[in-house]
Amino acid sequence: MDEQTATEQKLLQKIGVKSFEDLLPPIPKELLLPSLGLPPAKTELELAQYLDHAAEKNIPLKSFLGAGAYDHFIPQAVWDLTKRGEFLTAYTPYQAEASQGTLIALFEFQTMVCELFGMDASNASLYDGATALVEAVLLARRWFSEELALTPKKILVPRALHPQWRSTLSTYLRNLDVEIVEIPYDGKTGKLALRVLQNALQDPGVFAFVAGQPNFFGILEDMDQIGEIRTKTQALFISVVNNPISLGILEPPGSYNADIAVADGQPLGIPMTYGGPSLGLFAVKKDYLRRIPGRICGRTVDRNGQTGYTLTLQTREQHIRREKATSNICTNQTLCAIAATIYLSLLGPEGLKEAAELTFSKAHEIWERSRYIIARAGEPAFDHEEFFQEFIWKTRLPAERLEAICRETRLLPGYPLGRDYPELKDSLLIAATEKTSEADINNLAKVLNNYALNAIRTK
């Protein structure tokens, strides 16, 4: 008998049964202990070989993809610290006294989110930016029904908002009697059509409107004017920050009258890993504090009067309120929130400003370099008067040709917009970060040039 079997025998004896089978549920025998069609167990070495083999099938590419996920620089200390077993393998801090490390980090995280956004209160994070937007819309809806005893049914969402976020929003709202009204963008500037927004807000059936800075096309919106619009309506203003790093140089939502601000926190030290796990950032003005979804950490004192931290305002949550909870969310993204907190601590206000400026600068360098190419084989989709890290190049080459060029050059020049925006067929959303090097830009210029020549030949 091996050690394992002997141990099990000893335990079964104490339990008072003869065999493991005696512990199994009373259901027909033919349903119990089915044979599983799984491969045999791999050793750690075999696992490593399996992964390396798979990794070889992934083609390394230089990419200028952005569109909601950004390849920013991650300092070494971020994950060296985040991956400490004491953070990694702890549970939700329900026993606060044994979880002060996680809790103080979350308290700092909430403070940093408030500071970044210029808002009053934040939670301990949500799944990602798209679901944070959903929660913001649901908060606005509850605000009207609970605080104002009104049940308006419309929200205004820009067409130039991330298409996957809009799609997520409509999935969540499909059974909730809320109508999503799309606000178009101006065909010349690519900015939100403010007139249309203003007119739409005349409708008392609107409970919230959304605007992003910059918008999905990378273009800076006139947030001062949009904030002004908020002062003339009862509808709540939900502001989307496309990349929180931009807040190193851009005005924060709190300064333009946003009621709720959301963002995807991935750029703050979290690897892209094909889209997740990510980090939903969520902040509000103080009026909405008790309606925030998800976990919140608070500062308090222990019985000796010493400072300590605990989860608080838990009566909003599903484990207590069940069907009346502010949200169905149970987990948050603690580990990613800790990574973002460490990232922001390492950068500080100056480092964040530098990261934002460098990103801005690289994107504009690409823009300038590609302009003469664009003149030969395409045109900018909009005048792109002001943008942060992304712009759109409208090519004259059919998108189908893109793949061949990418495969050949091992470079992805941008995100093709045709699927989400038929009117922007054959257009690419091109992004830079502070990591974009001189050599990268030269390579991109070469590919775009190729592209241009191809387009001329195709004509």
Partner 1 sequence: MVDRSKLKFAKTHEWARLENGAVIVGITDFAQQEIRDIVYVELPKTGREVKQGEPLGVIESVKAAFEIYAPVSGRVVAVNDHISQDVTKIHKDPFGEGWLFKIEASSPAQLETLMNEADYQKITAESHR
Partner 2 sequence: MLSTLFEQSKPGRRAIGFAKGSIHSSQKIAAKHLRKNPPKLPEVAELEVVRHFTRASQLNYSVDTNFYPLGSCTMKYNPKANFRAASHPAFADVHPLTPAWANQGLLRVIRDFERGLLEITGMDSITLAPAAGAHAELVGILMAGAYFKDKGQANERRKIIIPDSAHGTNPASAVLGGFDVITIRSNSRGRVHLEELVKVLNQNTAMLMMTVPNTLGLFEDEILEVARLVHKAGALLYMDGANMNALMGVVKPADLGFDLMHLNLHKTFAVPHGGGGPGAGVLAARRHLEEYLPVPRITESTNGEMEILESSPKSIGRIRAFHGSVGNILLSSAYLAMLGKEGAVAASRTAIVNANYLKALLKEAGLKPFQDEPCMHEAVFTLDPKTLNGVRTLDLAKRLLDFGFYAPTVYFPLIVPEAIMAEPTETETPETLEEFARAVKTILEEAKTNPDRVKTAPHKLPVARLDEVTAARNPVIRA
Give the separation between CA 208 and CA 178, rounded to whole angstroms: 11
User: Which of partner 1, partner 2, none is residue 147 near (CB under 5 to 8 Å by kind)?
Assistant: partner 1
Residue keyed to tokens 């909730």: 176
Give the separation between CA 454 and CA 405, rounded to whole angstroms: 10
Number of residues that bind partner 1 (CB under 8 A): 8
Q: Considering beta carbons, is residue 142 or 394 the nearer one to partner 1?
A: 142
Pairing status of strand 260-264 against strand 280-284: antiparallel
Binding string, 274-303, against partner 1, x = CB under 8 A? Answer: ----------------x-------------
Q: Considering beta carbons, is residue 186 or 251 the nearer one to partner 2?
A: 251
Of 241, 221, 137, 230, nearest to 181 by C-alpha is 137
Binding string, 107-146, against partner 1, x = CB under 8 A? Answer: ----------------------------------------
Q: Which of 48, 320, 330, 404 binds partner 1 (CB under 8 A)?
A: 320
**In the bound complex, what is the minimum distance in angstroms from residue 321's beta carbon to partner 1?**
6
Q: Which stretch binds partner 1 (CB under 8 A): 11-19, 220-228, 316-324, 444-452?
A: 316-324
**In the bound complex, what is the minimum distance in angstroms from residue 320's beta carbon to partner 1?**
6
Of 138, 102, 70, 71, nearest to 316 by C-alpha is 138
Pairing status of strand 236-241 against strand 206-213: parallel
Q: Which of 167, 307, 315, 331 binds partner 1 (CB under 8 A)?
A: 315
**In the bound complex, what is the minimum distance in angstroms from residue 291's beta carbon to partner 2?**
13
What number of other Cβ atoms are within 10 A of residue 199's Cβ?
11
Q: Which stretch binds partner 1 (CB under 8 A): 37-45, 276-284, 314-322, 384-392?
A: 314-322
Of 213, 210, 200, nearest to 135 by C-alpha is 210
**In the bound complex, what is the minimum distance in angstroms from residue 202's beta carbon to partner 2?**
26
Which neighbouring-strand residues pair with 380?
Answer: 393
Long-range contacts of 376-381 (CB under 8 A, 24+ apart): 376/452, 376/456, 377/451, 377/452, 377/453, 377/454, 377/455, 377/456, 378/452, 378/455, 381/190, 381/217, 381/424, 381/427
Q: Considering beta carbons, is residue 287 or 302 the nearer one to partner 2?
A: 302
Tokens for 254, please give them. Answer: 């709190």
Of 152, 217, 148, 214, nearest to 181 by C-alpha is 152
Residue keyed to tokens 């044979």: 35
Q: Considering beta carbons, is residue 303 or 324 the nearer one to partner 1?
A: 324
Q: Which of 314, 318, 409, 443 binds partner 1 (CB under 8 A)?
A: 314
Reduce the secondary structure of 317-381 to three states and give it as a string.
CHHHHHHHCCCCCCCCCHHHHHHHHHHHHHHHHHHHHHHHHHHHHHHHHHHHHHHHHHHHHEEEC
Give the separation between CA 174 and CA 261, rounded to whole angstroms: 23
Q: Considering beta carbons, is residue 21 or 203 the nearer one to partner 2?
A: 21
User: Which of partner 1, partner 2, none is residue 102 near (CB under 5 to 8 Å by kind)?
Assistant: partner 2
Q: Considering beta carbons, is residue 242 or 450 the nearer one to partner 2?
A: 242
Q: Considering beta carbons, is residue 415 or 421 the nearer one to partner 2?
A: 415
Give the separation between CA 20 and CA 32, rounded to whole angstroms: 12
Q: Are residues 282 and 294 in contact, defined by beta-carbon separation less than 8 angstroms?
A: yes
Q: By CB under 8 A, is residue 23 in contact with partner 1? A: no
Residue keyed to tokens 């910059």: 214
Give the separation between CA 400 and CA 394, rounded to whole angstroms: 14
Q: Considering beta carbons, is residue 142 or 159 the nearer one to partner 1?
A: 142
Q: Indicate the residue type of 315.
A: T
User: Which of partner 2, partner 1, none is residue 185 near (CB under 5 to 8 Å by kind)?
Assistant: none
Q: Considering beta carbons, is residue 106 or 455 the nearer one to partner 2?
A: 106
Q: Considering beta carbons, is residue 402 or 455 the nearer one to partner 2?
A: 402
Q: Are residues 417 and 424 in contact, defined by beta-carbon separation less than 8 angstroms?
A: yes
In the DSSP assignment, the letter for residue 415 is E
User: Which of partner 1, partner 2, none is residue 276 near (CB under 5 to 8 Å by kind)?
Assistant: partner 2
**In the bound complex, what is the minimum distance in angstroms from residue 319's beta carbon to partner 1?**
9
Q: Which of 41, 149, 301, 439 binds partner 1 (CB under 8 A)?
A: 149
User: Which of partner 2, partner 1, none is residue 346 near (CB under 5 to 8 Å by kind)?
Assistant: partner 2
User: Which of partner 2, partner 1, none is residue 404 near (CB under 5 to 8 Å by kind)?
Assistant: none
**In the bound complex, what is the minimum distance in angstroms from residue 124's beta carbon to partner 2?**
7
Q: Where along the sequence are the contacts to partner 1 (CB under 8 A)?
A: 147, 149, 290, 314-315, 320-321, 324
